[in-house]
Amino acid sequence: DAGITQSPRHKVTETGTPVTLRCHQTENHRYMYWYRQDPGHGLRLIHYSYGVKDTDKGEVSDGYSVSRSKTEDFLLTLESATSSQTSVYFCAISEGTVISPLHFGNGTRLTVT
């Protein structure tokens, strides 16, 4: 399995507090992604990165920011958490070639109360 570690695995936080989720990879892959998964919606892309300090928005980026200061780390920040951001968050990586698959971490379950 691809070396992807998400932390924390579970978090409960209160509305209005900042939250940062971390994704760490040991594969030296160029591309990193943050998805959220909610019942009835499948996986939706929040933000992605195509290199150190190179990031862009996905389809559900409002309320989220990201940073990638090193190849191996991709951080997702909720500046002021809301109940609508209660979800399971998955990090994924890919090499970026046409045939390279997407590898996922095991997710972070975030509950905003």
Partner 1 sequence: LAKTTQPISMDSYEGQEVNITCSHNNIATNDYITWYQQFPSQGPRFIIQGYKTKVTNEVASLFIPADRKSSTLSLPRVSLSDTAVYYCLVGDRAGGYQKVTFGTGTKLQVIP
- The contact set with partner 1 (CB under 8 A) reads 4, 31, 33, 35, 40-45, 48, 50, 56, 58-59, 90, 92, 94, 96-107
User: What minimum distance in Å lies between the beta carbon of 76 and partner 1?
Assistant: 15
In the bound state with partner 1, the residue whose beta carbon lies nearer, of 52 and 82, is 52
Closest contact distance (angstroms) between CB of 80 and partner 1 is 25
Cα 75 off chain centre by: 7
Is residue 35 classed as helix, strand or coil in its secondary structure? strand
Token digits of residue 7 = 């932390």
CB of 18 to partner 1, least distance (A): 24
CB of 83 to partner 1, least distance (A): 22
Where b means 16+ CB within 10 Å and e means fewer, 1-26 reads eeebebeeeebebeeeeebebebbbe
Q: In terms of CB distance, is 4 or 21 closer to partner 1?
A: 4
- Nearest-angstrom CA–CA distance, 66 and 19: 11
Nearer to partner 1, 14 or 56 (CB): 56
